[in-house]
Each structure stands twice: as structure tokens, then as C-alpha cells.
């Protein structure tokens, strides 16, 4: 793309809320279940079925809004957005139109040098549609997803590059996930984003005609679609052509965007207030309570851990992979004399840390860090014990005794072992006595090998020296 144009992007992001049940019925929210096993007359749009709003969905939507510094509406309502598509059995989506539940937020993202603020126009609550699967024999419909609560987050057209878009999505995903509101998996569709992109002459403050890009289901695809689309629009403008507002798809195989339809307008949807649901009325107290339940965001926790325990970035990141991991670390850190050892130990297996609830009690994690910190066990043994505790939580001090994992520091036992090692390596002993003292290290190594690393290195050295100098 030539430099005479500036890229302007606004994002609409849909996130499925991880409530137990759907937005307007008591069907379970699931992923990957047998198709059409979690649906009922309400979510499949049978005549006469009446929706009832799930309070949890409201709570999660507002918590998401608070994480994005939004203003919360104490009065909002649901509207019908009317359109027909095979994945929408009711032929309308219950959404919010002119009274969204949250407005006017922002999110700061790293960009070029320093932070950049992305303004958020609105966040509203709506329901998901079903899932279509196209096969060679026809198209299949799974209604399990119909009626799953969604939030749609709409930004101002504040992005100027694909990198900024990626940074925003990463920050958004981390915050929402950390608070347990959604798992935000792009590949499973629980986070989906549409990119609105236009070009304008550099320096202009008017907006150009935009294309809305759909079906971008990874960060990488989003970045590739943006690059392609910006190039395409620039070519049209350079050739003296005009652009019109349209909805475009992205083909993962070719890396190209293609026209799907001209952009629909708000009038096309015939929005009107949902007659089957009362308005959503909240009190300041309820919102304050929900706000107080939100966890401290991961970025600020990372900064705190690095400062307090002198951790590097990777370790701090591993510890804040989930709220469960961070909470477990903090609780155990308060109980051990060696929080830094605890941090490195926990972060040594980031994949395990990221799998939800931490199955080891804080007291046991702390005891393990103490054992490692005071050098009763070596770092390899500490990691093995952690795996053991993960499989079956237990007191690591008892496990050390039961499994004989402690460091060998009994002088008599080490002396006996040193004698064996010397007897088994007469050449080395001779060399040492002839003045080649470097072989001592190899002999210590032998002692370690015979004890699977448990022999205390300092004491082993002493035992060898006392025998060799005779
Ligand atoms: P819809 O796409 O549903 O019609 P909006 O008009 O609110 O809804 O726009 C949706 C998104 O498109 C917003 O993120 C907005 O910032 C962005 N947007 C609107 N106009 C432009 C434009 N000319 N160029 C780039 N982004 C735009
Ligand atoms: Mg749109
Ligand atoms: Zn249902």
C-alpha cells in the first residue's frame, strides 16, 4: 500500500459468555456436545415460547464492561434484530439497539512507542445463532449454540495498523479470560471479530468507505486479511475507482478477501423493543458488588510480582496465565520463606499451570518451596515432587522421607560412598595424588550419579578429599 493513504480500522468483537445456561432458557452452554442435544422450544424459536433473561449473563456483560472502563447503564433493554438466515430459527436475534448495557469505555494497548488508547463505543448483550456445517450432502444445523449469551464490543475507528488490532485483541482476551467470563477461544468461535477497514488520504480527518471483513478466526488471519484488503482498496483508489460499503469474507487458502454483499444498513433490521422481556434495571449497589468481585487484572499482577520477587518476564507471565494460577501463587507465596523459588518452580511447567484449577494446596506448595529454598532437596527433585503433588496432593515433607528423596548429607554414609568411588576408579585416584587435582570434579560427579543427584556436593567433596589425602 502506498504511503499516501492512512488505514482506518474499527472492530466489532463477539465474545460468548461462559455462563452455565443460555441467555433466555435453561439449556446448558456447551462446546463440542452431540449436535442438537442442548436446545428447547425457547432457543429454537417455537411459537409461543417465552424467553426469561439469565441474570448471570447480565452480570458477566457488566463485568466485561467494567474491565473495559465502560459506563454502565442502570436501565437498558433488549431489542429484536430481524433477519432471516438458516442458523437463526426465530428469524430474529434478541440484541440491544439504542439502549446498550455499557457505553464509552477504553482499552490501552502497546503500540509503536508507548501506550495507545482505543476508545470503546459500546458493549451490548445479545444471543448467539446456531452453527452451520457445510458438507457435500448439504448443510447441517446445530442449535446447541442458539441462545448462548454473547457480548458485542464495538470500538471507535481508532486502529491504524494490523499490529494495533492484534495488540487490542490480545489485551481484551487476557482480561476477559482472567476474570472467568469467557474462554475466548478464536478457534472454537468463543471470540470472533469483524474488522471494518477503510483508507483515506494521509492527513485527512474524513472517513472513507469501509469494508467489513467477516470470519477471521485467528489473529494471523485477521492480520493477513487486513494487509490484503488495504492493498486492494489502495489499488481501486489509485486506479481512480470508487469504493462502496460492503461486507467481505476472507478465504484462508488464498489469503484474499471477497465480496459477499453490500453493507446492510440499520434500517434493514427493523429493530424494535423485545416485547417478551422487561427492561434490565440495575441498582448502583449491584453494579458495585459485581465490580468488587473482579480480580486485579493480570498485567498489574505481573508488575507487582516482578517488583516484589525479582522475577523475569516469562516467569511472571506463566504465573498470571489464569486467575487460578495467580491466586494459588499469591496464597502460597504468603506462606513460604522462599517465594522466588516457588515462582520458578511453578513456572517451570506453564502448560500445566494453564489448565484451570490448581490441585495442590497453598500449604503444600509453600512447604515444597521451603524444602527447595533451604536445599533439603535439589531443584530437579523439587520439580518431580511438584508433578507428584499435582497428581495427588500431599505433604511434600512426608513424601521426601517416604520416597527417600532428601539430600544425602550424612558424613559417614558419604565417606563410605567416597571409598567405593575411589576403589572403583583407582586410575583417577592416582592421578589426583600425582597432582592432577582436576579429576576431583569427576569423582564428585560419580558420587552424584550413584545417588541420583542426592549427594550433597560440598560434603561429597570433603569426604573424597579426606580419603585421597591419606
Ligand atoms: P455496523 O457495522 O453494524 O453497521 P457501526 O456503524 O457502528 O456498525 O460500525 C461498526 C464498526 O465500524 C465500528 O467499530 C466503527 O468504528 C467502524 N467504522 C465505521 N465506519 C468506519 C470507516 N469508515 N472506516 C473504518 N471503520 C469504520
Ligand atoms: Mg458491523
Ligand atoms: Zn433452550
Q: Is 396 in the pocket of ligand 1 (CB under 6 A)?
A: no
How much is the pLDDT for 166? 95
In this prediction, residue 17 has a pLDDT band, given cuts at 50, 70 and 90, of: very high
Is the Cβ atom of 126 under 6 angstroms away from ligand 1? no
pLDDT at 3: 64
The pLDDT value recorded for residue 308 is 94
Average pLDDT over residues 105-115: 90
Measured CA to CA, the distance from residue 166 to residue 177 in angstroms comes to 16
Domain residue extents for the chain = 5-285, 296-403, 411-468
The CA distance from 141 to 149, in Å, is: 19
| Range 289-309 average pLDDT | 94
* pLDDT per position as a tens digit, 51-74: 999 999 999 999 999 999 999 999
**14 Cα to the center of ligand 1, angstroms:** 14
The pLDDT value given to residue 470: 60
- pLDDT tens for each residue of 400-447: 888 877 777 788 888 989 999 999 999 998 899 888 888 999 999 888
Any idea which fold 411-468 has?
Answer: Arc Repressor Mutant, subunit A (1.10.10)
Tell me the sheet residues that pair with 81. 93
Q: What is the whole-number distance in angstroms between the Cα of residue 207 and the centre of ligand 2?
A: 15
Ligand 1 and 100: CB distance under 6 A:
no
| pLDDT tens per residue, range 159-191 | 999 999 999 999 999 999 999 999 999 989 899
Answer whether residue 268 shows pLDDT above 70: yes
Q: What is the pLDDT of residues 37-57, one digit of tens each?
A: 999 999 999 999 999 999 999
Task: Please state the rounded mean pLDDT for residues 99-104.
Answer: 98
95 CB within 6 A, ligand 1: no
Q: What stretches of 211-277 adopt beta strand conformation (E)?
A: 211-216, 246-251, 256-262, 272-273
CA 265 – ligand 1 centroid, Å: 11
Orientation angle between helical segments 284-293 and 55-67, nearest 10 degrees: 70
Residues 6 or more apart whose CB falls under 8 angstroms from that of 148 comprise: 16, 17, 22, 23, 29, 127, 128
- pLDDT tens digits, 314-329: 999 999 999 999 999 9
- Name which residue sits closest to atom 3 of ligand 1, judged by CA: 266
Residue 452's pLDDT is what? Answer: 74
Considering only residues 295 and 413, tell me which one the structure prediction assigns the higher pLDDT.
295
Identify whether the C-beta of residue 295 lies closer than 8 Å to the C-beta of residue 175: no
Find the DSSP H helices in 311-468. Answer: 313-319, 323-333, 339-347, 350-353, 362-373, 379-391, 396-403, 411-424, 426-433, 439-450, 457-468
The confidence score (pLDDT) of residue 86 equals 94
Work out the pLDDT band at 464, boundaries 50, 70, 90. very high
Q: What is the pLDDT of residues 200-241, one digit of tens each?
A: 998 888 999 999 999 788 999 999 999 999 999 999 999 888
In this predicted structure, the answer to whether residue 395 has a pLDDT above a threshold of 70 is yes
Atom of ligand 1 nearest to the CA of 154: 14
Residues 152-166: tens digit of each pLDDT: 999 999 999 999 999
Predicted confidence band of residue 451 (pLDDT cuts 50, 70, 90): confident
- Taking the centre of ligand 2 as the mean of its atom positions, its distance from the CA of residue 43, in whole angstroms, is 24
Q: What is the CA radius of gyration of the chain?
A: 30
**Per-residue pLDDT at 329:** 96
Q: Using CB atoms within 10 A of its CB, is residue 164 exposed (0-12), middle (13-18) or buried (19+)?
A: buried
Q: Note the pLDDT of residue 1.
A: 56
243 CB within 6 A, ligand 1: no
Average pLDDT for the chain: 92
pLDDT category at 399 given cuts 50, 70, 90 is confident
Mean pLDDT confidence for 12-30: 96
The answer to whether residues 135 and 70 touch, using CB atoms and an 8 Å cutoff, is: no
Choice between 111 and 53, residue whose per-residue pLDDT is larger: 53
Element housing 13 (H / E): strand 5-16
Contact between residue 116 and residue 87 where contact means Cβ atoms under 8 Å apart: no
Does residue 155's CB lie within 6 angstroms of at least one atom of ligand 1?
A: yes
For residues 45 and 54, give the distance between their C-alpha atoms in angstroms, rounded to a whole number: 17
Which atom from ligand 1 is nearest to the alpha carbon of 209? 23
Nearest CA to ligand 1 atom 5: 154
Q: Whose CA is nearest to atom 11 of ligand 1?
A: 10
Closest ligand 1 atom to 208 CA: 23
Partners of residue 259 on adjacent β-strands = 248
Residue with cell string 442435544: 37
Amino acid at each position: 500500500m502506498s504511503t499516501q493513504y492512512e488505514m482506518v480500522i474499527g472492530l466489532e468483537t463477539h465474545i460468548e459468555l461462559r455462563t452455565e445456561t443460555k441467555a433466555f432458557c435453561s439449556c446448558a452452554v456447551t462446546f463440542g456436545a452431540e449436535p442438537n442435544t442442548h436446545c428447547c422450544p425457547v432457543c429454537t424459536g417455537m411459537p409461543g415460547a417465552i424467553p426469561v433473561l439469565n441474570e448471570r449473563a447480565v452480570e458477566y456483560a457488566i463485568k466485561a464492561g467494567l474491565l473495559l472502563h465502560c459506563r454502565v447503564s442502570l436501565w437498558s433493554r433488549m431489542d429484536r434484530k430481524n433477519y432471516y438466515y438458516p442458523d437463526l430459527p426465530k428469524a430474529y436475534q434478541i440484541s440491544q439497539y439504542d439502549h446498550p448495557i455499557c457505553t464509552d469505555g477504553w482499552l490501552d494497548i502497546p503500540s509503536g512507542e508507548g501506550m495507545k488508547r482505543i476508545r470503546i463505543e459500546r458493549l451490548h448483550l445479545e444471543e448467539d445463532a446456531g452453527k452451520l456445517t457445510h458438507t457435500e450432502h448439504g448443510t447441517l444445523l446445530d442449535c446447541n449454540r442458539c441462545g448462548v449469551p454473547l457480548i458485542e464490543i464495538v470500538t471507535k475507528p481508532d486502529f491504524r495498523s494490523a499490529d494495533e488490532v492484534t495488540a487490542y485483541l490480545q489485551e481484551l482476551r487476557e482480561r476477559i479470560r482472567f476474570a472467568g467470563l469467557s474462554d475466548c477461544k478464536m478457534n472454537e468461535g468463543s471470540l470472533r471479530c469483524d474488522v471494518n477497514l477503510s483508507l483515506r488520504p494521509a492527513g485527512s480527518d474524513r472517513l472513507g468507505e469501509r469494508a467489513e471483513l467477516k470470519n477471521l478466526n485467528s489473529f494471523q488471519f485477521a492480520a493477513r486479511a487486513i494487509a490484503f484488503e488495504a492493498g486492494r482498496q489502495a489499488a481501486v483508489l489509485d486506479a481512480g475507482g470508487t469504493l462502496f460499503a460492503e461486507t467481505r469474507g476472507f478465504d484462508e487458502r488464498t489469503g484474499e478477501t471477497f465480496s459477499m454483499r453490500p453493507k446492510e444498513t440499520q434500517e434493514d433490521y427493523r429493530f424494535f423493543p423485545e416485547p417478551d422481556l422487561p427492561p434490565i434495571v440495575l441498582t448502583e449497589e449491584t453494579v458495585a458488588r459485581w465490580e468488587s468481585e473482579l480480580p486485579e487484572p493480570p498485567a498489574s499482577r505481573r508488575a507487582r510480582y516482578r517488583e516484589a520477587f525479582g522475577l523475569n518476564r516469562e516467569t511472571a507471565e506463566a504465573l498470571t496465565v489464569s486467575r487460578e494460577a495467580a491466586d494459588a501463587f499469591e496464597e502460597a507465596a504468603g506462606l513460604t520463606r522462599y517465594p522466588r523459588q516457588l515462582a520458578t518452580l511453578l513456572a517451570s511447567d506453564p502448560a500445566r499451570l494453564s489448565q484451570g484449577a490448581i490441585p495442590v494446596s497453598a500449604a503444600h506448595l509453600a512447604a515444597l518451596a521451603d524444602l527447595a529454598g533451604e536445599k533439603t532437596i535439589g531443584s530437579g527433585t523439587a520439580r518431580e515432587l511438584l508433578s507428584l503433588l499435582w497428581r495427588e496432593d500431599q505433604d511434600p515433607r512426608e513424601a521426601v522421607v517416604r520416597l527417600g528423596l532428601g539430600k544425602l548429607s550424612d558424613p559417614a554414609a558419604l565417606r563410605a560412598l567416597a571409598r567405593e568411588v575411589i576403589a572403583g576408579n583407582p586410575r583417577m585416584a592416582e592421578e589426583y595424588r600425582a597432582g592432577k587435582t582436576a579429576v576431583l570434579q569427576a569423582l564428585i560427579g560419580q558420587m552424584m550419579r550413584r545417588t541420583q543427584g542426592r549427594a550433597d556436593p560440598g560434603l561429597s567433596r570433603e569426604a573424597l578429599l579426606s580419603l585421597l589425602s591419606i
